[in-house]
């Protein structure tokens, strides 16, 4: 009887486990064999091809000679002989997000367009008009005169997970409504996109095939929601495409529609990343924050007392992790807002109150690829060197030579860069440079402040044994 009782208990336990497993597996959504096809069929009516036309003026390379009477005698002097206007066609993709004719696409798709044609999958064609665009995020809204249009729901790119399946639909090379699939490869990528080479931040990366013409099309999750706007590819790379997070677009849509542009707050600092070398020289415990490399004249930062060399640690009590984080925190405010900025100055914290202005410039980031080692020849600035390098400063010492193949050469320092500080000591002459340099040991990290074309940069250098 005891043996039977034990077997009964065992069977009850096993049945319970099987029942729990069945319920658990039932809660896991199974992907239908046709889920991609179902999504594509549902959203395709809301995806459009965008064809643009703009005019470019090509000036004759012989134009400077047209003032010569002898030249005009043979070639004429009509404006047509000096320049000609050439129509240039462009193509891209967009999708309807409001049924009353509002379409999302990329700014670089419609930038400079004199004519915009919007074509639906069923062949319907409309004239499009740009109602708002934002070069900073490469987002634009196009309006067509139509109602009761099919739309695609906008999802939440913040909750999208790396590794989840995604679908890209677009007009690559004019091949309308091409569907590609892949996974979300990464989030938060900074890239250059569009024809301008402008730097954009916080992009989604995917291995779904994206080609020229896909720009402006939707990147969809398996719920059929837009989580990104396809926008760029890396030349010669395979399986690497990028999309603007849809939450970035959602945050500015109202302003684009009502104002035609996005009004952002502006702090007025030029900033660069904190490297371990910079953190060490500034006495920071970790390489976190954003280094103020320069201050815009008559900016909120200047009026509040921020200085070159300050490290921004917090905005309104929230930690600043890096350059991108600082920019996002500032842009989340409106012009006129007052913020508290906690900075690191002379190895102690200082808190300042700043009243933000409206952003006029498109970027406040200084490239962070400036870390170098010593290997430069410098001279005092003379009138000849001012003319030779078109220098905007006459104080400091100017770099006139770079050791070929050395660390400075590899890092990008170049003749014409003016050294203003060495290890936070002001450099006004070659004597200052040699005095400070003489106190530096091989292998020690030093900090240069250089001027290039009127803009200042901090550059950490690791001294080599001569």
CA 325 – CA 201 distance, rounded (Å): 10
Rounded to the nearest angstrom, the gap between the alpha carbon of residue 283 and the centroid of all alpha carbons in its chain is: 30
- Vertex 153, ends 152 and 155: CA angle to 5°? 130
Q: Is 417 noted as a catalytic residue in this protein?
A: no
Query: Which residue in the list 44, 176, 215, 299 is annotated as catalytic?
Result: 215
Query: Which residue in the list 44, 51, 108, 185 is annotated as catalytic?
Result: 108
Q: Is 68 noted as a catalytic residue in this protein?
A: no
Tokens of 444: 């020690």
Q: Is 108 noted as a catalytic residue in this protein?
A: yes
- Element (DSSP H or E) covering residue 218: strand 218-220
Contact 437, 466 (CB under 8 A): no
- Vertex 39, ends 171 and 215: CA angle to 5°? 25
CA 105 – CA 111 distance, rounded (Å): 11
Q: How far is CA 387 from CA 164, 249, 283, 400, 420, in A?
A: 57, 47, 39, 13, 19
Find all residues with CB under 8 Å of 44, minimum gap 6, and list them.
121, 169, 177
CA 173 – CA 314 distance, rounded (Å): 46
Query: Which residue in the list 51, 138, 417, 432 is annotated as catalytic?
Result: 138
Contact 282, 313 (CB under 8 A): no
Give the catalytic positions in this structure: 108, 138, 215
């Amino acid at each position: 009887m005891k043996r039977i009782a034990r077997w009964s208990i065992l069977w009850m336990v096993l049945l319970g486990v099987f029942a729990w497993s069945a319920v658990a597996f039932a809660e896991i959504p199974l992907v239908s064999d046709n889920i991609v096809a179902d999504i594509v069929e549902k959203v395709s009516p809301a995806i459009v091809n965008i064809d643009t036309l703009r005019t470019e003026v090509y000036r004759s390379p012989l134009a400077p000679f047209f003032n010569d009477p002898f030249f005009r005698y043979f070639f004429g002097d009509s404006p047509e002989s000096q320049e000609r206007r050439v129509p240039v066609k462009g193509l891209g993709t967009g999708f309807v997000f409001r049924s009353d004719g509002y379409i999302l696409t990329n700014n670089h798709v419609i930038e400079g367009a004199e004519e915009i044609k919007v074509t639906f999958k069923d062949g319907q064609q409309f004239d499009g008009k740009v109602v708002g665009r934002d070069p900073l995020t490469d987002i634009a809204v196009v309006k067509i005169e139509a109602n009761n249009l099919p739309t695609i729901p906008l999802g939440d790119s913040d909750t999208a997970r790396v590794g989840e399946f995604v679908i890209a639909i677009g007009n690559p090379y004019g091949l309308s409504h091409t569907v590609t699939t892949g996974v979300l490869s990464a989030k938060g990528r900074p890239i250059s996109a569009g024809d301008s080479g402008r730097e954009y931040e916080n992009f989604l990366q995917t291995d779904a095939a994206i080609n020229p013409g896909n720009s402006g099309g939707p990147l969809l999750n398996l719920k059929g929601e837009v989580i990104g706007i396809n926008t760029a590819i890396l030349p010669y790379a395979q399986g690497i495409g990028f999309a603007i997070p849809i939450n970035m677009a959602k945050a500015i849509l109202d302003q684009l529609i009502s104002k035609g542009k996005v009004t952002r707050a502006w702090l007025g600092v030029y900033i660069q990343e904190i490297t371990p070398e910079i953190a060490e020289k500034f006495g920071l415990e970790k390489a976190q924050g954003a280094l103020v490399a320069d201050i815009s004249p008559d900016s909120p930062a200047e009026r509040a007392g921020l200085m070159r060399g300050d490290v921004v640690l917090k905005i309104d009590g929230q930690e600043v992790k890096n350059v991108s984080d600082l920019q996002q925190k500032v842009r989340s405010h409106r012009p006129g807002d007052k913020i508290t900025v906690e900075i690191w100055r002379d190895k102690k914290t200082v808190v300042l109150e700043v009243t933000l202005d409206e952003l006029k410039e498109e970027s406040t980031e200084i490239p962070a690829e400036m870390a170098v080692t010593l290997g430069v020849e410098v001279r005092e600035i003379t009138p000849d060197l001012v003319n030779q390098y078109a220098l905007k400063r006459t104080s400091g010492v100017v770099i006139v030579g770079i050791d070929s193949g050395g660390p400075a050469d590899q890092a990008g320092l170049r003749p014409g860069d003016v050294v203003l500080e060495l290890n936070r000591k002001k450099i006004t002459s070659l004597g200052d440079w040699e005095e400070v340099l003489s106190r530096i040991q091989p292998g020690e990290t030093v900090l240069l402040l250089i001027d290039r074309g009127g803009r200042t940069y901090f550059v950490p250098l690791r001294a080599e044994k001569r």
